[in-house]
Chains A and B, each alone.
Chain A
């Protein structure tokens, strides 16, 4: 291991670098979003186990996501994305129906006209909602549900669901900037806040390139996922992984999870889901790879994840170099100010 890799770059044994000897293997999460059903059991299990307080019962008016983002009081967050696009080989099942897309334009238009006249607007076929006054359900679709009847109301459509969590980075921005030592690297290679040390300076909040950690209002201390540090000590898997009914959240040794994830992506590509990709698995990325990484079905930013995060610490030597130059200039200017002839 080279000295420069202590600030960024691949780091094969992160716990040893932090000073742990004879430590257990590095653990993490592999979140396979292709099997996430958006049940939010992970969010609930996390809150229950870790005693995370409620963060307000808000209706955000966007999709089925009313948690919104990770934060001091949400250590798991299930993102919901509605897209007009079929998922893999999935068929919306419209092609064979009377007003389906397989018909030529003229017939489509003709049949749609007829359907509108028909009792229940052709809704009996199960192909479109009943014709009635549209109701705004507050869904971020492009039209009101029920606004269109007939062929033009039929869409290809998919849900993307993904349970987001702290990434437990190899080079953790929050950990690097913590001035009290409250944030530390555990023997499992995870990153945890010691609540008896944190004085709520808030530096970690701005240090995280994923916007994960936050200060809890009223409490004043920084809070985030601990990867259930207490459960790990007792040989248990984290609460969210335990609760996940589809094994979308998989807990295990990081090396093994990475192999499993690579196989899963290959498998999905073979099955005709070319958009499947891994996120955060690569030890040569800007944060040295994540302890919690993901299989995504679209670009990371669609899930609210940064496409190419870099730990701010990478540029630390350059920053101090510029600060040193500016400081020297100030000192020189002060000396010159008094050295001049003017009195």
Chain B
């Protein structure tokens, strides 16, 4: 920051508070686990008011991040189960995927300012807009999920009819077509958040895709573990373990790499949500690795992973919202960038 000899106003609002509540050394205060990663920076602002607008999205968007990931992961499990002859896993995967997809569509449409105009998304295909790309990814993903799930829940009376047989014949290719698109469904939402001016989301663009695909794998694996008999749930456990480990590691890397912006993740509500997510995911991972014989343990571990994944999405969302409300997340990193130039 350039020194200005004529200026006699206090340089930042954070600084004023800092003087009274100075922390010495690296000692932890009280029961708080929160530690400052970076020394508090001095900066100037317009009366401490935010530079950016907070996202207008409410709870429905992080909820969609979760249901979208769940739909993607379960469709992968369903396709794999279909090919390897695990009818129980296939059934849970296909129906779970459709349920999560329907929830996703509801959440996405309901979050619009003008829900009746949701179809305007289909006017254009725009590579610079991850939301437009996502619209088309979901459009490619959805029909296959619907056909596969319809074949699964077909009433016995209709199974022998011509439409019934056609539907059952179409189920496998439909399920596979969705499974091919599923990794894109699970990962594009990370780009959706990162392609914004929101510091905590944009700065995390290298880590968020791994957090999100990990979370998708953990939630869908957990979902299947809870609902499928243990003999058939082997692949679900494997996917859940991969997902939980990826989510935990990527989440930690994110906190280490983000510098000042990491404070949005490691303080406040986002921190609380993500700590609980970590605890549940770690416990779920342990249960997954140990509980391949016990149904009860599988149900508990699956539920923990499911909840941990959901909390992760809400935590990441909350960190982004928080980073738009405090001007330091905008001003300080940009100032440092200018000084380096």
Q: Which residues of A pack against B, CB within 8 Å?
A: 7, 62-63, 68-69, 71, 79, 81, 83-86, 140, 156, 173, 176-182, 197-203, 205-215, 219-222, 275, 299, 301-309, 312-313, 315-316, 318-320, 322-331, 333-338, 340, 342-343
Question: Is there a chain A Cβ closer than 8 Å to B304's Cβ?
Answer: no
B residues in contact with A197, CB < 8 Å:
117, 120, 123
Question: Is there a chain A Cβ closer than 8 Å to B32's Cβ?
Answer: no
User: Which of A140, A201, A306 is packed against the most chain B CB atoms within 10 Å?
Assistant: A201
Tell me which of A200, A212, A213, A316 contacts B195 (CB under 8 A): A316
B9 lies within 8 A of A177 (CB): no
Bound complex: CA of A319 vs CA of B179, how far in Å? 22
Tell me which of A7, A325, A334 contacts B209 (CB under 8 A): A325
Q: A219-B113, A333-B239, A337-B238 are in contact. Are A326 and B209 (CB under 8 A)?
A: yes
In addition to A207-B196, A309-B334, 15 A-B residue pairs with Cβ atoms within 8 Å of each other are A85-B7, A202-B56, A206-B198, A211-B324, A301-B327, A307-B338, A308-B335, A322-B205, A323-B188, A326-B209, A326-B210, A330-B186, A337-B239, A338-B83, A343-B234
A211 lies within 8 A of B53 (CB): yes
Bound complex: CA of A194 vs CA of B196, how far in Å? 21
CB distance from B195 to the nearest CB of A (A): 5
Bound complex: CA of A320 vs CA of B195, how far in Å? 10
Q: A327-B209, A334-B76 are in contact. Are A206 and B197 (CB under 8 A)?
A: yes
- Among the 9-residue stretches B22-30, B124-132, B143-151, B157-165, the one with 4 or more Cβ atoms under 8 Å from chain A is B124-132
**Nearest residue, chain B, Cβ from A212:** B53
Bound complex: CA of A173 vs CA of B129, how far in Å? 10
Bound complex: CA of A306 vs CA of B210, how far in Å? 29
A302 lies within 8 A of B45 (CB): yes
B217 lies within 8 A of A330 (CB): yes
A residues in contact with B182, CB < 8 Å:
330-331
A181 lies within 8 A of B126 (CB): yes
Bound complex: CA of A331 vs CA of B234, how far in Å? 17
**Nearest residue, chain B, Cβ from A343:** B234
A199 lies within 8 A of B84 (CB): no
**Nearest residue, chain B, Cβ from A83:** B9
B residues in contact with A325, CB < 8 Å:
209-210
Bound complex: CA of A222 vs CA of B131, how far in Å? 16
Question: Is there a chain A Cβ closer than 8 Å to B173's Cβ?
Answer: no
Question: Is there a chain A Cβ closer than 8 Å to B99's Cβ?
Answer: no
A residues in contact with B118, CB < 8 Å:
199
**Would you give 10 A-B contacts (Cβ < 8 Å), ordered by A?**
A177-B196, A179-B135, A202-B112, A214-B53, A304-B49, A304-B51, A306-B331, A323-B187, A337-B236, A340-B234
Q: What class of interface size applies to chain B in its complex with A?
A: 35 or more
A206 lies within 8 A of B55 (CB): yes
CB distance from B36 to the nearest CB of A (A): 22
CB 8 Å contact bits of B69-84 with A (1 = contact, 0 = none): 0000100110011011
5 tightest CB-CB pairs across the interface, nearest first? A200-B113, A220-B113, A304-B46, A326-B209, A199-B117
B194 lies within 8 A of A210 (CB): no
A residues in contact with B327, CB < 8 Å:
301, 304
Tell me which of B6, B126, B206 contacts A86 (CB under 8 A): B6
A residues in contact with B47, CB < 8 Å:
62-63, 140
A177 lies within 8 A of B55 (CB): no
A173 lies within 8 A of B197 (CB): yes
**Nearest residue, chain A, Cβ from B117:** A199
**Nearest residue, chain B, Cβ from A327:** B183
**Nearest residue, chain A, Cβ from B132:** A179
**Nearest residue, chain B, Cβ from A202:** B56
A residues in contact with B56, CB < 8 Å:
202, 205-206, 214-215
A residues in contact with B43, CB < 8 Å:
301
Question: Is there a chain A Cβ closer than 8 Å to B269's Cβ?
Answer: no
B80 lies within 8 A of A326 (CB): no
B8 lies within 8 A of A336 (CB): no
A residues in contact with B242, CB < 8 Å:
333, 336-337
Tell me which of B80, B195, B235, B335 contacts A312 (CB under 8 A): B195
Bound complex: CA of A313 vs CA of B198, how far in Å? 12
CB distance from A340 to the nearest CB of B (A): 6
B334 lies within 8 A of A306 (CB): yes
Question: Is there a chain A Cβ closer than 8 Å to B330's Cβ?
Answer: yes
Question: Is there a chain A Cβ closer than 8 Å to B312's Cβ?
Answer: no
Q: A306-B331, A329-B246 are in contact. Are A301 and B195 (CB under 8 A)?
A: no
A residues in contact with B128, CB < 8 Å:
7, 176-177, 313, 316
**Nearest residue, chain A, Cβ from B56:** A202
Question: Is there a chain A Cβ closer than 8 Å to B50's Cβ?
Answer: yes
B186 lies within 8 A of A327 (CB): yes
A residues in contact with B19, CB < 8 Å:
none
A residues in contact with B338, CB < 8 Å:
307-308
Question: Is there a chain A Cβ closer than 8 Å to B212's Cβ?
Answer: yes
Bound complex: CA of A304 vs CA of B132, how far in Å? 31
Question: Is there a chain A Cβ closer than 8 Å to B231's Cβ?
Answer: yes
A340 lies within 8 A of B238 (CB): yes
